[in-house]
Amino acid sequence: MVTTGDRLSSTEKDSIVRYILSSALEGNSVPVLQEFLGLGRKRVSDYIKHSQESSREKIEGAWTVFSRSNNDHTFTQQIGELIHGKKKARSFLEIIWGLNRDQAEEDDKADA
């Protein structure tokens, strides 16, 4: 269902976010999360944007569980960027791993 080319209703997008994406994050299901990576940031963002507020809150909780339990920092960053976008994921990773905030700001300026 996730990889079909058909247009999905808001209810279907909400179900994907609530029952598949958040469960994959909570269960650290790498194959399922890789499928979401394959969908790309634009499509996943659309699913999250069109989901209910409670589903978006569930994603945030699931993301917290996933980011604290996954030891593969590169994969964790990829998933964070997929869910939150690049800038927000970097800020969240700063908090978790204690990265230097000044260095991250310099990196942002260099990216611009």
Q: What tens digit of pLDDT does each residue of 37-74 get?
A: 999 899 999 999 999 999 999 999 999 999 888 888 88
| DSSP H or E stretch at residue 19 | none
107, part of any domain: yes
How large is the C-alpha radius of gyration of the chain? 14
Longest dimension (CA), the chain: 44
Residue 92 has pLDDT above 70, yes or no: no
How many angstroms from the chain centroid is the CA of residue 79? 5
Query: For residue 40, is it within any domain?
Result: yes
CB 38 within 8 A of CB 82: no
4 domain residue, yes or no: no
Instruction: For 4-38, write each residue's pLDDT tens digit.
Output: 566 888 899 999 999 999 999 999 999 999 999 99
Q: Is residue 58 part of a domain?
A: yes
3-state SS string over 22-36?
HHHHHCCCHHHHHHH
Q: Which domain holds residue 74?
A: 10-111
- Residue 23 inside a domain? The answer is yes
On whether residue 5 sits in a domain, the answer given is no
Q: How many domains does the chain have?
A: 1
pLDDT of 88 above 50 = yes
50 found inside a domain: yes
Q: Is residue 67 part of a domain?
A: yes
